[in-house]
Amino acid sequence: MSVLIGVDAGGTKTAVIVVDGERELARSVGAPGAVRAGRALVAGSRITITVRRALTDAGLLHGDVLVVGAAGVGREPERGELREILRGERLAERVIVTGDLDIALEAAFGEGPGVVLVSGTGSVAVGRTPDGRPHRAGGLGWQMGDEGSGYAIGRAALLAVGRAHDGRGPATGLTETIAAASGKDFDALVRWSTSAEPGEVAALAPAALDAAARGDAVARAIVESAADDLTGLVRSLVEEFPGKASVRVALVGGNLEPDRALRPLVLARLGKVARVTPVQAPLEPVLGALAIARRAG
């Protein structure tokens, strides 16, 4: 049997599974492996460390086929650069690099039709119609899009804290929650927020989601708005599917994990959209990477 390595390299973590045929040998989770502009070497190093850890746990030095689904490799220059870096590490005889959305679609629907809705640092909905054509809504970045994303939720939480501080908005438990999550008092939070990167702001989203789950009204309103925005992405994609057949929609991303307050709200809304059939089961994109590896092997 071929030793296959599947990798999901995202903005919050890198997940790796090593299998021998259908038998799972090892799993490993490491630092984010998303490719940022001009920083493919950093991503490659993080992916390599996580893969090597899994190989060591499996008692192996390398595999036969390595498939990496990475965020940030939508264009060939970034994809090719990461591929060459990983080839140089001799992790496997064959190295395939594709997008994180590609492995998510594969994990959810194989080569069939459907839509994957993503809410991580950013947000996007990607779909494949029955004729095999790809479609996309959102994913325009933190300035022009990313509604319902971790960044959008984190920024809304910061706005709510600022308004509560000035008396321009209702008091909210987010004031204490965000302070604890960031390790900063209000003045330090103001200074930090003026230069924070989108990923840093998005890192506040879990705290806001937890506050919503605990019943904070302001946090709950933020999460409800995010659920509406994400549902809107799906609604726009469903129009691309011909006829009246049902369209399956799977959820993926850190903000839509089973223990997050956002997931049930989105599932409930999707259930009311005409023709949409929400996929209730959690999605593991790394399994899509393994499926691609099996076909390649």
| 153 and 224 share one domain | yes
The string of pLDDT tens digits covering residues 191-212 is 999 999 888 999 999 999 999 9
Indicate whether 179 and 82 sit together in one domain: no
Quick one: 244 and 221 in the same domain?
yes
What is the pLDDT at residue 61?
94
List the strands of the sheet with 276-278, edge to edge: 134-138, 123-128, 114-119, 247-252, 276-278
151 in any annotated domain: yes
Residue 296 placed within a domain = no
Backbone angles phi, psi at 238, to 5 degrees: -60, -30
Give yes or no: residues 168 and 152 share one domain: yes
Task: Indicate if 41 and 130 belong to the same structural domain.
Answer: no
Question: Of the candidates 41, 75, 105, which is a domain's last residue?
Answer: 105
What is residue 75's predicted lDDT score, i.e. its pLDDT? Answer: 80
Q: Is residue 290 part of a domain?
A: no
The answer on 240 and 148 residing in a single domain is yes
289, part of any domain: no
DSSP, collapsed to helix, strand or coil, labels residue 28 as strand
What pLDDT, in 10s, does the model give residues 210-222? 999 999 999 999 9
Is residue 288 domain-resident?
no
CA triple 220-233-264, angle to 5 deg? 40
Q: Using a pLDDT cut of 90, give the percent of the chain over it.
A: 81
| pLDDT digit string, tens, across residues 149-193 | 999 999 999 999 999 999 999 999 999 999 999 999 999 999 999
**Which domain-ending residue is among 105, 140, 160?**
105
**Mean pLDDT within 124-141:** 91
What global pTM score does this model have? Answer: 0.86
Residue 224 and residue 152 share a domain: yes
Total tally of structural domains belonging to the chain:
2
Domain span at residue 54 reads 3-105
Q: What CATH number should be reported for the domain holding residue 274?
A: 3.30.420.40
Residue 154 within any structural domain of the chain:
yes
Among 56, 85, 105, which residue terminates a domain? Answer: 105
Beta strands in the chain (DSSP E): 3-9, 14-20, 23-30, 63-70, 92-99, 114-119, 123-128, 134-138, 247-252, 276-278
Q: What is the pLDDT of residue 140?
A: 84
Residue range 239-295, pLDDT digits in tens: 999 888 899 999 998 899 999 999 999 999 999 999 999 999 888 999 999 999 999
Phi/psi at 156 (5° precision)? -60, -35
pLDDT of residue 163: 97
